[in-house]
Amino acid sequence: MLSVAEKSRRRFLEETPLGRTRRARKIHRILADTYPTAHAELDHRNAFELLVATVLSAQTTDIRVNGVTPALFSAYPDAAALASAQREAVEEIIRPTGFYRAKAKSIVGLAQDLVTRFDGEVPGNLKDLVTLPGVGRKTANVVLGNVFDVPGLTIDTHFARLARRFLWTESTDADRIERDVQELFPRKDWTMLSHRVIWHGRRICHARRPACGACPISALCPSYGEGELDPQQARGLLRFELAEQTGQSGDAGQAADGGRTKPGHDGPSSARGEGR
């Protein structure tokens, strides 16, 4: 006897490329309705701050990064200030984000590069951004999509997991996932698609126990049944503002995911291993 998850996957085994594209775009429409306020969750006021915050977000949570960046940008408000900072002083400020020695080296180094090579400004193109210390395609795409309006996919741990669950890709390689997903969506959608998929991964389609029984895209998902199917139990797994809407505390989510308490502040931000 087949499990629910096995039956779900079988339904999509014969799917044509056109069928997959249509299904992918339907999923995106539903996610857009479900998360109308989806956005980048690292606090920032400009390209420099988002670039530094994204480098700091490797292997930690957005809430940890948002906890240190006010002090960091108060002490070093621009690339010139950070470029001449004492590394040890930077390390002390960013220590809660983990890997603080390597991260301090990266952000001071990238500030120095910005000053010497780009007149202190963050370049608005991928080719230059990925030459900066600690900056890979994921970080570059975050900055390009959110500050420069250049569409880009953010393949973090959530996006990679969900893209595989949706059968948008079979790969675990971030560059390959990016290429596979790019083929399914118009370029103009890439940045918002990234935010919505990541929000879905943080709120409903969790790594360890997805809330399938409360998922708005369950009918389109080949992985339906991998998680909790009972609707009431599944609603108890929802996190952040969705948990508040259903009267749940979100505590189950915190326990399973490291004690996060506010909307939009969970999850390691990198699946690519950048910046460390």
Candidate residues 145, 210, 236, 253; the one interacting with ligand SF4 per rule CB under 6 A: 210
CA 212/CA 91 separation, integer angstroms: 41
SS (H, E, C) 142-173: HHHHHHCCCCCCCCCHHHHHHHHHCCCCCCCC
CB of 211: closest distance to ligand SF4 in angstroms?
A: 5
Catalytic residue, from 156, 180, 257, 266: name it.
Answer: 156
The response to whether 212 counts as a known ligand-binding position is yes
Instruction: Work out whether 211 is an interface residue with ligand SF4 (CB under 6 A).
Output: yes
Angle at 60 between CA 171 and CA 30, to 5 degrees: 55
Whether residue 221 is annotated as binding a ligand: the answer is yes
Nearest Cα neighbor of 5 from 218, 153, 262, 161 is 218
Using CB under 6 A as the binding rule, the residues of this chain from 115 to 134 that contact ligand SF4 are none
Which residue number, 86 or 245, has a Cβ lying nearer to ligand SF4?
Answer: 245
Q: Which is nearer to ligand SF4, 198 or 212 (CB)?
A: 212
Assess 110 for contact with ligand SF4 (CB under 6 A): no
Q: Does 223 bind ligand SF4 (CB under 6 A)?
A: yes
Q: Which of 73, 159, 224, 240 binds ligand SF4 (CB under 6 A)?
A: 224
| Residue with the two structure tokens 């990925």 | 130
Amino acid occupying residue 197? V
| Binder among 132, 198, 217, 237 for ligand SF4 (CB under 6 A) | 217
Contact indicator for 79, 120 with CB cutoff of 8 Å: yes
Q: How far apart are CA 145 and CA 179, in angstroms?
A: 17
Q: How far apart are the C-alpha atoms of 75 and 68, rounded to whole Å?
A: 11
Annotated binding site for [4Fe-4S] cluster: 205, 212, 215, 221
**What residue ranges bind ligand SF4 (CB under 6 A)?**
165, 204-205, 210-212, 215, 217-218, 221, 223-224, 226-227
Active site residues: 138, 156
